[in-house]
Structure 1
Amino acid sequence: MDLVPKPDQLVAAAGNVAHVVMYGGLADLRPMPRTLIDEGTLREVYHYRPAVGVRSQGDPVLLVTPLAAPAVCFDLRRGCSLVQHFVEAGRRTYLVEYGNVSFRDRNLGLEHWVEEVVPTAVREVSAHAGGRPVHVVGWSLGGIFAMLAAADAPDLPIASLTVVGSPVDVTKVPMVAPLRPLLDLTRGHGLVTRTYRAVGGAPTPLVRWAFQLSSFQKLVTKPIAIATHLDDADFLAQIEAVDRFTAQMTAYPGRSFGQLYHRFAKGNALASGAVQVREHAVDLADVTAPVLVFAGANDGIAPVAAVKAVVPLLRGAREVQFEIVPGGHLGMLTGRAARGSTWRVLDEWIDRWSGSGTEAEEPTKAPARKRAATKKTATKKSATKKSATKKSATKRTATKKASATKTATKKSSTKKTATTSAAPEPPASPDTIGSNPTRRYGSGGSRALSR
């Protein structure tokens, strides 16, 4: 609102406040309808139902969530939901999420996601979509999981990879870089290590606090922002949706958190391009699918430099495209500005690397139908020509018998026949096979069709 609100702004603000009081909020938080198609240990693969009146077609899209983040990161609210955007555009849309992490999952490491969860989800989605290759879209740590899975299993049916806000070089993350020298002093036996081992991972309150700390300035100024935007229903709805997302964050499994802490935060292993997974190294240079990389202009968790560091590491990729889009860590994925930036680029990318769908197959079928029609027409014309020849032969036989009984008539008939034979042949009909140079198919092809 303006410093001195206008009458229409006051009316809109009063209406928004009344709506919040009466209905509890302004955001439409209904999730997009979906169906579970596969599940396993910390793995749930969902298929989003097609929109009413919209036919789903083309290659499927698989959305990969990061650890600790709820699936609503891709389905934040109606009007700001990447899932809704894909479904209403007629794309086959799928998502893999991990459910609630508990103490019993403390021994699961990164290999569980890199070798089991993501590869299984890709194969299940491909099979559910009729064997089509899959466009994999991963946000934050989900993007890192997707890249490592693609590098570890080159046979996965992946059409393209999209990595959204995935930090690769943590030395370029302002929140982490100043702490790394202090972390190294403990040699892996410090307070952080003892804590996550004791509690079995990173607890939910700590994860939520860390996410909010990444946008500390927005957290502090949030009351002022709300007060100055009371007349903007879309702004207020977005804040409600982000608050719900933050409240639903979950914990990290102990072993996975330890690997992320020691290998990524302290060791910065991913910046070299290779990460140890179980007993072998997984190198990002082994990714062969085309890769689209997004960085948020105002992202505090994954700054532009930390994300862009992955580009030279993807040496084996068919193509690597890097884009800087407006927004913070979550906003670049599903913020209000993402509708005209991230989503638009993502649509163009998926369309570019998609295989031929139903419409693309039609031009291939059309010539086949045309050739069949040409063959049928040629056969019909050939039969007509044979029938005409047979009638002509019958007529000549009858004439010959009649002329045998009358000599004068025979001479006259013979003279007429000679005169007729000497006359020049009429030009070939344009319908005769091989005689029309403007025919769609050449003479050789036409003759082949007539056999």
Structure 2
Amino acid sequence: MKTAQLKVVPGAATPSPESEQPGNTLDLYLRSQMARLTGGVSPIAMSLAFQDWWQHLAASPGKRSELAAQSLAALAGVAKPVVEDSRFDNAAWRQWPFSQYVNSFKQAEQFWGQATTGVRGVAPHHAEVVAFTARQLLDMYSPSNYLWTNPEVLRAAAASGGRSLIDGALNWRRDLCRRLAPPDMAVPEPTGSSYVPGQDVAVTPGQVIYSNELIELIQYSPQTEKVYREPVLIVPSWIMKYYILDLSPHNSLVRYLVQQGHTVLMLSWRNPDQHDRNMGMDDYLQLGVFAALEQADQLGGGAPVHAVGYCLGGTLLAIAAAAIDSGEHGQHAKLASISLLAAQTDFSEPGELGLFIDDSELAFLDALMWDQGYLDGDQMAASFQLLHARDLVWSRMMREYLMGERSAPNDLMSWNADSTRLPFRMHSEYLHGLFLRNDLAEGRYTAQGKPIALSDIRTPMFVVGTERDHVSPWRSVYKIHLLSGAPIDFVLASGGHNAGIVSEPGHANRSYRSHPASTQAQAAGYSSPDEWLNSAERTEGSWWPHWQQWLVRHAGRERVAPPAMGLGRVLGPAPGNFVLQH
């Protein structure tokens, strides 16, 4: 068993670690082992949720009568389920007996959807957990997941003389070998499945101009003779590698900005290991955002900086901006603007990720991280996959293991598999302080022992939400309007958390909603998300040009000669070393 050595940060968001309390080392060890078996899910939290639901359902005879009537109607064929499910789009599903399989499955979905919702007295969080779990369990038994109940699989097997089933079995065997291989064993990936940073992705030319124990700072080479004086500093999320914003040349946000005449800098976070267990949110603020802002300030000769944050990087940037605008945490740099891309600052409605966050869940997750010193990227990725299990787990397994097909690789999929680790203290502080207790929105968050209030932000803000975001729901992102009195331009982009941000000009089926700049400036008072949505204008195409024009409006129009790379001090070519760490 391990004994944790944790530094105590004054004013830190995390309560006193359990390992500092007498006798709790054994508790932590046992919880950590249970968490390994359950994938970090607390069986106690799950059982409490189901007890809450079941006991209130037992005390609701009227609700049970409605469910019984629904079941009788289904058995009598009176109630026909509405089948709107991409898994059953193929015409073969409309033939008997497969049509009957689909009807029975959809009736079961409707029944359990009614049974797990609308039960009076059940705590909202427990009701969400039960409903979500019921959906996941039902999806396991979808007729599309099994050989003899899936007509598409049977036809493919017949047409190929069984070759599709053999290929599927080989795919399953290869994946199993990769999963069971020891950490130090090199197991080949499927052909063409990996995009290598610096070769296939993250290829925009640049230099690493600064490095410390947490970040490398990349300055990208200018591609225009003159550039805007104000540098653009991008703070990506530390959960994944930074190059989501510098994928292939055709969909690289970095390349787009450089081509428009901006000097662009990017943080590349170090991939921590067990020796970094004591790094906390304050370290990510000081060694990350503040250190990078100071470098950007020097590079721009004191010109204000356009600061951009994506996902958790945006949350951290909002904290940094509030600290700077308050005048209580040092200047570090002048800010010309703040852009938050799919970034939450209020976590009271975090979406389906909130299903995994309560006191019991965090007790198990803390124990797991205490034992390892970090949260492994694959463990985090498993949570995200669970949110989209229908598409990311079951449909993929059906294609690859039953039909023998491999999904065509792309740069976004490869980036999504390139996960990072999260230090114990930082992730615990983030989950407890921001996600569970919502300290930032409610005025309790501190940095270096000093309070942080988002109401101190006075710098103009550009905030982007995405329509189908399950990580940072756009209505949650929109709540920054309630927390800051700064001028805010809000844009709602089509797509999800990643694809909605990686929305390059020319990409098909992309659009965004916004209010004209004149309307934003004249708006008086607060508009609810639905009011904003009803009055917003829809524009076809990418939101990137709209944002780039906003950046120009919030800075001097003067163009100057590009600054020397790192002001003459460079450490090596982009993408640097940290992005290659595994």
Same fold flag (TM > 0.5): yes
Q: Does 1:354 align with 2:555?
A: yes
- Secondary structure at the aligned position of 1:271 is classed as coil
- Identify the match of residue 169 of structure 1 among 326, 342, 346: 346
- Identify the match of residue 34 of structure 1 among 202, 206, 210: 206
* Greater displacement, 84-93 / 270-279: 270-279
* Aligned mates of 1:217, 1:22 — CA distance in 2: 25
- Identify the match of residue 246 of structure 1 among 412, 416, 419: 416
- Secondary structure at the aligned position of 1:194 is classed as helix
Change (3 A) 1:55 1:24: farther
The one-letter amino acid of 2:497's match is H
Change (3 A) 1:265 1:342: same
Q: Please identify the structure whose Cα radius of gyration is greater.
A: 1
- Identify the match of residue 439 of structure 2 among 253, 256, 269: 269
Give 1:179 deviation, angstroms.
4.6
* Aligned mates of 2:354, 2:425 — CA distance in 1: 23
Give 1:169 deviation, angstroms.
3.1
* Aligned mates of 2:294, 2:371 — CA distance in 1: 36
Give 1:57 deviation, angstroms.
3.3
1:96-245 equivalent positions in 2, closer than 5 A: 96-154=267-325, 155=331, 156-180=333-357, 183-184=358-359, 190-220=363-393, 221=395, 240-245=410-415
Change (3 A) 1:224 1:351: farther
Does the 8 Å contact 2:373/2:424 carry over to 1?
A: yes
Give 1:176 deviation, angstroms.
3.5
What is the CA deviation profile of residues 313-370 of structure 1, one whole-angstrom value per residue up to 9, with x for unaligned ones?
Answer: 012x2x11111111111112214437933312221220110113138xxxxxxxxxxx
Using CA pairs under 8 Å that are at least 6 residues apart, name the structure with larger relative contact order, 1 or 2: 2
Give 1:292 deviation, angstroms.
1.0
What is the CA deviation profile of residues 142-181 of structure 1, one whole-angstrom value per residue up to 9, with x for unaligned ones?
Answer: 001111111112333110000011123333223244454x
- Identify the match of residue 44 of structure 1 among 204, 216, 231: 216
Q: Does 1:297 align with 2:498?
A: no
Task: Give the unaligned 5+ runs of structure 2.
Answer: 1-88, 92-189, 326-330, 401-406, 512-539, 561-582
1:328 is matched with 496
Give 1:276 deviation, angstroms.
2.2
Give 1:54 deviation, angstroms.
4.9
Q: Does 1:258 align with 2:404?
A: no
Give 1:121 deviation, angstroms.
0.6
- Secondary structure at the aligned position of 1:264 is classed as helix
1:420 is matched with none
- Secondary structure at the aligned position of 2:427 is classed as helix
* Aligned mates of 2:318, 2:554 — CA distance in 1: 17
Does the 8 Å contact 1:215/1:300 carry over to 2?
A: no
- Secondary structure at the aligned position of 1:85 is classed as helix
Change (3 A) 1:33 1:225: farther
What is the CA deviation profile of residues 256-287 of structure 1, one whole-angstrom value per residue up to 9, with x for unaligned ones?
Answer: 01101211222122332551223222111111
1:369 is matched with none
Does the 8 Å contact 2:440/2:452 carry over to 1?
A: no
Change (3 A) 1:290 1:172: same
How many residues matched? Answer: 326
The one-letter amino acid of 1:265's match is F
The one-letter amino acid of 2:459's match is A
1:282 is matched with 452
Task: Give the unaligned 5+ runs of structure 1.
Answer: 5-20, 227-234, 360-451
Give 1:131 deviation, angstroms.
2.3
- Secondary structure at the aligned position of 2:500 is classed as helix
2:3 is matched with none
Change (3 A) 1:210 1:179: closer
Give 1:3 deviation, angstroms.
8.5
* Aligned mates of 2:192, 2:423 — CA distance in 1: 37
Does the 8 Å contact 2:443/2:451 carry over to 1?
A: no
* Aligned mates of 1:22, 1:261 — CA distance in 2: 38
Give 1:124 deviation, angstroms.
0.6
Q: Percent identity?
A: 24
* Greater displacement, 152-161 / 78-87: 152-161
Give 1:125 deviation, angstroms.
1.2
Give 1:28 deviation, angstroms.
5.2
Give 1:24 deviation, angstroms.
7.0
Q: Does 1:68 align with 2:236?
A: no
The one-letter amino acid of 1:72's match is Y
Change (3 A) 1:75 1:212: farther
* Aligned mates of 1:139, 1:223 — CA distance in 2: 31
What is the CA deviation profile of residues 181-203 of structure 1, one whole-angstrom value per residue up to 9, with x for unaligned ones?
Answer: xx2358x6x21121111111211
C-alpha RMSD of the superposition: 3.0
Change (3 A) 1:129 1:340: farther
Give 1:23 deviation, angstroms.
7.0
1:395 is matched with none
* Aligned mates of 2:194, 2:213 — CA distance in 1: 35
What is the CA deviation profile of residues 20-39 of structure 1, one whole-angstrom value per residue up to 9, with x for unaligned ones?
Answer: x9977899536111101111
* Aligned mates of 2:471, 2:541 — CA distance in 1: 22
